[in-house]
């Protein structure tokens, strides 16, 4: 007596994937992976750029606070470089002098531009503020 083995799933002619189907699926997967990696790279560049802007803004705000909290201020134009590579250009001038001549205060406008270089590109942030100063008695 011979026992015949029967496979649980009958095998019919062609089963599985052809070489062409495998190549097409691999190509589609490769293209999708390339797109995902490119998006990841773009996000890393954006994070780096925003980090530079935040650092520049913090430098500008700190310098602006120094000017606003100073006891006295006068018309001036100055430029300075920080140790971390930021150039700060400051212009202070009296504004609305004709409207404040009868008041006990003078109004100064402070214009500040902080700039830095990333590679060959120059980036900058501008801040503007007003400061009142007690008018000196004559």
Residue 111: inside a domain, yes or no? yes
User: Containing domain of residue 69, as a range?
Assistant: 19-134
Q: pLDDT per residue over 49-93, tens digit each?
A: 788 888 888 888 988 998 888 888 888 999 999 888 889 999 999
For residue 78, what are the CA distances in angstroms to 43, 88, 91, 99, 119?
Answer: 37, 8, 7, 27, 25
Specify the number of domains making up the chain. 1
Q: pLDDT per residue over 89-117, tens digit each?
A: 999 999 888 888 888 888 999 999 999 88
Residue 3: inside a domain, yes or no? no
pTM for this predicted structure: 0.63
Residue 125: inside a domain, yes or no? yes
Residue 110: inside a domain, yes or no? yes
């Amino acid at each position: 007596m011979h026992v015949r083995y029967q496979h649980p799933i009958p095998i019919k002619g062609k089963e599985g994937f052809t070489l062409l189907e495998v190549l097409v699926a691999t190509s589609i997967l490769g293209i999708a992976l390339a797109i995902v990696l490119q998006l990841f790279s773009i996000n890393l560049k954006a994070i780096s750029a925003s980090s530079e802007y935040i650092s520049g803004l913090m430098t500008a705000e700190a310098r602006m606070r120094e000017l606003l909290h100073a006891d006295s201020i006068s018309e001036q134009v100055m430029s300075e470089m920080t140790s971390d590579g930021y150039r700060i250009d400051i212009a202070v001038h009296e504004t609305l002098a004709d409207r404040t001549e009868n008041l006990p205060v003078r109004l100064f406008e402070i214009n500040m531009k902080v700039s830095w270089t990333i590679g060959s590109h120059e980036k900058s942030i501008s801040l503007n503020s007003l400061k009142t100063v007690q008018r000196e008695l004559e």
